[in-house]
A and B are shown apart, each in its own frame.
Chain A
């Protein structure tokens, strides 16, 4: 696994990653935590077209995430 952290939005379709932290306000953080994007959680970028939002699969279900938020989620890429 690479040590570099990138924003979730930079992952390519099919790539897997691990949540590191969230650079958002309290509300956004709270919501993402409630939806299961806690630090250390593995996820997969399922869909990332030219258009927003992106779709990830995490904890056995799918989540749509707006690009604004997706840019604020820091992740490690899993090779």
Chain B
């Protein structure tokens, strides 16, 4: 027998941990149709049941604040999963119950997974589960997802619920509101929509735009009646309609918590002390600076070392390859394809993978949200808020997952600005160029300056983008979770999904382009390209003629610029073919001049052709301008 269940809950309550534990390897991650929101689906085989599990996005409400909220409620109402499992954080009951109450309004059979039961004890609180069950009138299963405790019972209860059937609990709000809801439900009697009447009535009173639209299509007169009822409520309570309804829900949530949770004497909490220091006005920034710098230092020293070994190993395959396929045009082209593959691997394994694993650990432990807190003020200067810092950090690994990571921004406009500045962040590949050229031959302080210059450029361009794209910036309103031990499986999975973006989008393009460049090489077309590029490369940027093709080679993957530079300059000792100024200009242009082809693909996917092309062309022109300006400044 087939059952479909949906996991729903706030962000950071352990939903994904439960999802992973239940579905293991039987997972499918995609997007919701037509939306840039991730959809995770998996299968669990339990006795003779095949259970399909959908992991809905982590949200705080079922209103229209974000795409995630809309998708979740539409899914539950339209697809009607057999059971909705509401995962709630036992240590943060009140806010979680606010969401639970809304889920109950949707009327699907429901079970509550009361997660993080191990932490309630540490927090010195005691939850009376029986009492809680009495209030909510749905099955409640205490679980500790990270240890896998209670999950068997959860599945068992789910199956039971399907077998035995479900009795819709009704939780009542205040008298005045209930009266209006009741009247409205009667008016809605003839309206046939996917949503339950009570949900519709409450949403109409709340002033929900989407539901308003739906009902208007059926019978515009109803909206007039709603307006009258809503006005009544606003008059009685003295607040706007949304506030009134939210207050009602929180009132119920608060009463439940008061009755079911008893708080013992709080022990000294280590994580609170850590929280205080890491968000401190001085120490917080110092710790942030130190941790970010050491993160980069560790990743790039380790990466460099590891990547050298890898390259050496893989390049040794060349003689073997030649032995089998001989030396000729065809085999040379084929080697181009392999070179692309090698280049991809030598970027992913030594740099991007460890970077994303460590970043994932910081994220899951809760430290990244502290950084978001600290960076909020700076991000506001470019029209974003603190959370945008997270995709920016991802950008230092690879721009592709970073662009996709901008989905955490709430509005389209913020997403666009965040994506734009993200493409200006030097990724791991660019860093290898900067370190290999400027760092090695000019000096580390110059390499470091390039990063600082990049940040200044990000800031200035971000600020301009902020002025150009109209709209009010969304302010930061973010929950700060307690610190916790990162859950390794979740971290590993997260890292894998980010790298998967790179592999699926970037790898094929990298390989195709390596092939094309080989073709150019073999057919001697590269020389004519170099001549074509001369006005820009030699006359404007002051670079040697062979750098033209190297810059073109950076379009598929930026680290290729260095390899081509060596091939066409005839040596890997760049000190003999480039002056320090040329190295700096070259690195600067490489850093800024284009989102690489994989990033362009990601841009198209996220913001559409037109904007992607605009950003691409802009960055090419801008990089050439900055490069030329730098050349003139440095040779004054």
Contact = CB atoms under 8 A, between A and B. Distances in A.
Interface of A: 21-22, 25-36, 38-41, 47, 49-53, 55, 59-69
A14 B401 CA distance: 40
Given A30-B65, A51-B377, A63 B480 contact: yes
Contacts of B377: 51-53, 67
Interface residues of B, number: 45
Contact of B376 (A21, A22, A60, A64): A64
Chain A contact surface mostly: mixed
Contact of A36 (B250, B279, B386, B473): B250
B274 to A, nearest CB: 13
B98 interface: yes
Contacts of B250: 36, 38, 41, 59
A69 B385 CA distance: 12
Interface in B268-284: 275-276, 279-281
B94 interface: yes
B574 interface: no
10 contacts: A27-B474, A28-B475, A34-B60, A36-B94, A36-B250, A39-B239, A61-B92, A61-B95, A64-B479, A65-B476
B479 A34 contact: no
Contact of A65 (B64, B95, B281, B475): B475
Given A28-B475, A30-B246, A47-B279, 8 more contacts: A30-B63, A30-B64, A36-B95, A36-B250, A53-B386, A55-B480, A64-B480, A68-B473
Given A31-B477, A41-B250, A64 B242 contact: no
A66 B472 CA distance: 14
A56 B247 CA distance: 19
B477 A63 contact: yes
A25 B95 CA distance: 22
A35 B243 CA distance: 11
Given A34-B98, A36-B98, A51-B377, A62 B479 contact: yes
Contact of A29 (B243, B275, B476): B243
B376 A32 contact: no
A63 B369 CA distance: 11
B224 interface: no
A29 to B, nearest CB: 6
Contacts of B176: none
Interface string B461-488: 0000000000011111111110000000
Contacts of A33: 242-243, 246-247
B240 A59 contact: no
B479 A55 contact: no
B19 interface: no
B94 A66 contact: no
A22 B369 CA distance: 25
Contacts of A27: 65, 474
Contacts of A68: 380, 473, 475
B616 interface: no
B107 to A, nearest CB: 20
Contact of B246 (A38, A50, A52, A69): A38
A30 B240 CA distance: 10
Contact of A35 (B239, B386, B474, B477): B477
A30 B207 CA distance: 11
B247 A35 contact: no
Contacts of A40: 247
B260 interface: no
Contacts of B91: 60
Given A34-B61, A35-B60, A53-B377, A63 B479 contact: yes
A64 B372 CA distance: 10
